[in-house]
Amino acid sequence: MSKPQKKKNEVAKPVMTGLDRLGLRVSSMINHPTAQLQCWVTVHRLDDDGDREWEEVMGLLSETDDLEMTFNDEDESVTLKWKRAAEDDPRVEAGDFEVAEEAAPF
């Protein structure tokens, strides 16, 4: 038997890397409404989070101003804490945000 051939006009699905998945997971945890109200979140390292990906994301987070990181050795998690931005903070202007409409990567 022969393998089914792909159609010529078929579009290949984009593949998410481990770094993309971890970055998306951490970003969604930070942006979750509960985390935004309490101004902290604990990110647990999953079995499929590679060393390189974990170190790269943690390195990027460590470079972020006003973000406190606490590494929890017993379960390899990281607690991120931040201060709520003041309403008069020029970095937080309601009109500055545009919602990008794009397809979900999954």
Would 103 be classed as within a structural domain? no
Reported as a single tens digit per residue, the pLDDT across 48-81 is 999 999 999 999 999 999 999 999 988 989 999 9
Would 101 be classed as within a structural domain? no
Would 13 be classed as within a structural domain? no
pLDDT class for 13, splitting at 50, 70, 90?
confident
Burial of 29 (0-12, 13-18, 19+ CB in 10 A): middle
> For residue 97, is pLDDT > 60?
no
Would 104 be classed as within a structural domain? no
State the residue range of the domain holding 31.
Answer: 18-87
Average pLDDT over residues 83-104: 59
Tokens of 49: 């989070």
Q: How far apart are CA 81 and CA 70, in angstroms?
A: 8
Q: Is the full-model pTM beyond 0.75?
A: no
**Cα dihedral sign, 90-27-71-34:** positive
Would 72 be classed as within a structural domain? yes
The pLDDT value given to residue 95: 45
Kindly report the average pLDDT of the chain as a whole number.
83
> For residue 101, is pLDDT > 70?
no
Give the total number of structural domains in the chain. Answer: 1
